[in-house]
């Protein structure tokens, strides 16, 4: 495997391109506009500079990483020589199904098609192609250059060969892959999201305040970040949509999203990215203040 195409240069896509390129692969980064690609490339450069300052890489590694990345705004050109395509486009089912149809039609017949989806069924995405045995989930964690885990998700028809190739490749880029099966939320979000939801329900019912809930989980369970702060970091809209996938997929009331979460998303309070969620955020500042809505 030599040529990797990453589709989507956003938060996850640029991180995935960075990690493959730093490990010697030729990467083509595809997005819809040159602006989106430029933004992705400048994030990669910033992250490489940070690694350089910390002496984790050399100037030569930074240069080779950047020269290993080429870009395209044309999907078909971007995938025509790919051995592996990792799709990290926007989390909309219709967008992904359409993309996989096009990718399947234009990519080399031997290519493996992976998706970084956090909640959409791999089996459903695979069914949009004529090569379901070569379709697999590669769920990287954010921030990609730092986080060790890749949740490797087997769809119903994913072959042993495809799985073995992706497990080996994941180790080659310095990650620790874990193989799981395709059920709503896979493993990471099936366990994480109900915990976040329960933290929001506890706040909503007045069991404790924002700081108290997060402190219990940080000091009591040794979590690096409390569940409410983590929800702000992930994005409350993303948390809501994953909970809806779990609720819909399993049909069990235990996955029903807390009404407070629904209200906050409806009101546009989506967490760090909008400046307010359970906490308020000032760009460039690391100070963490509870949102006035949740102070007495
Ligand atoms: P993002 O919104 O930062 O980036 C998505 C990029 O995809 C945008 O630059 C957009 O222009 C591009 N795009 C959309 N449609 C496209 C198309 N047809 N062709 C080419 N590019 C297209 O989103 P983010 O956060 O990077 O998420 C990407 C995927 O990764 C989603 O499936 C998400 O669920 C998953 N994910 C996100 C995590 C996170 O913490 N943000 C964690 C793990 C998975």
Domains, the chain: 3-181 (3.40.50.720), 189-294 (1.10.1040.10)
User: Quick one: pLDDT at residue 296?
Assistant: 74
C-alpha span between 243 and 196 (Å, rounded): 10
pTM: 0.93
Q: What whole-number distance in Å separates Cα of residue 212 and Cα of residue 198?
A: 14
Say if CB 155 and CB 135 are below 8 A apart.
yes
| C-alpha of residue 29 to centroid of ligand 1, in Å | 12
pLDDT score for 239: 96
* Helix 188-204, helix 227-234: angle, nearest 10: 120
At 229 the pLDDT is: 97
Task: Please name every residue paired with 152 in a beta bridge, in sequence order, or none if there are none.
Answer: 138, 179
The answer, yes or no, to whether the previous bond of 227 is cis (omega within 30 of 0) is no
Q: 151 an active-site residue?
A: yes
In sequence order, the 6+-apart residues with CB closer than 8 A to the CB of 16 are 6, 86, 88, 116, 140, 144
Distance from Cα 92 to the centre of ligand 1, integer Å: 9
39 — pLDDT class (breaks 50, 70, 90): very high
Q: What is the mean pLDDT of residues 98-108?
A: 98
d(C-alpha 273, C-alpha 261), whole Å: 16
| 189 catalytic per annotation | yes
Q: What is the pLDDT of residue 286?
A: 84
Give me the catalytic one of 14, 47, 118, 119: 118
118 is catalytic: yes
Which residues are near ligand 1 (CB < 6 Å)? 7-13, 30-32, 36, 88-91, 95, 99, 116-118, 139, 142, 234
Q: pLDDT tens for residues 43-96?
A: 999 999 999 999 999 999 999 999 999 999 999 999 999 999 999 999 889 999
Query: Among candidates 259, 178, 204, 196, which has minimal Cα distance to 233?
Result: 196
């Amino acid at each position: 495997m030599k040529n990797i195409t990453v589709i989507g240069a956003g938060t996850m896509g640029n991180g995935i391109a960075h990690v493959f390129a730093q490990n010697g692969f030729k990467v083509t980064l595809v997005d819809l506009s040159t602006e989106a690609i430029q933004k992705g490339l400048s994030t990669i450069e910033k992250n490489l500079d940070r690694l350089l300052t910390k002496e984790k890489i050399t100037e030569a590694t930074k240069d080779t990483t950047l020269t290993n990345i080429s870009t395209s705004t044309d999907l078909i050109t971007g995938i025509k020589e790919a051995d592996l395509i990792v799709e990290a486009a926007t989390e909309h089912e219709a967008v992904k199904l359409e993309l996989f149809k096009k990718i399947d039609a234009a990519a080399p017949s031997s290519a493996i098609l992976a998706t970084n989806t956090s909640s959409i069924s791999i089996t459903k995405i695979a069914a949009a192609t004529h090569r379901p045995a070569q379709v697999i989930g590669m769920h990287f964690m954010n921030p990609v250059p730092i986080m060790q885990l890749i949740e490797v998700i087997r769809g119903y028809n994913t072959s042993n060969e495809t799985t073995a190739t992706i497990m080996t490749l994941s180790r080659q880029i310095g990650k620790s892959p874990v193989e799981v099966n395709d059920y709503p939320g896979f493993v990471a979000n099936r366990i994480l999201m109900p915990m976040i939801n329960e933290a929001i329900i506890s706040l909503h019912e007045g069991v404790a305040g924002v700081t108290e809930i997060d402190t219990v989980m940080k000091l009591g369970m040794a979590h690096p970040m409390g569940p409410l702060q983590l929800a702000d970091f992930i994005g409350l809209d993303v948390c809501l949509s994953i909970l809806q996938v779990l609720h819909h997929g399993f049909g069990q009331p235990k996955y029903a999203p807390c009404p407070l979460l629904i209200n906050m998303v409806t009101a546009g309070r989506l967490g760090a990215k909008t400046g307010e969620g359970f906490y308020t955020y000032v760009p460039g500042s690391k100070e963490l203040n509870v949102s006035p809505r949740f102070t007495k």
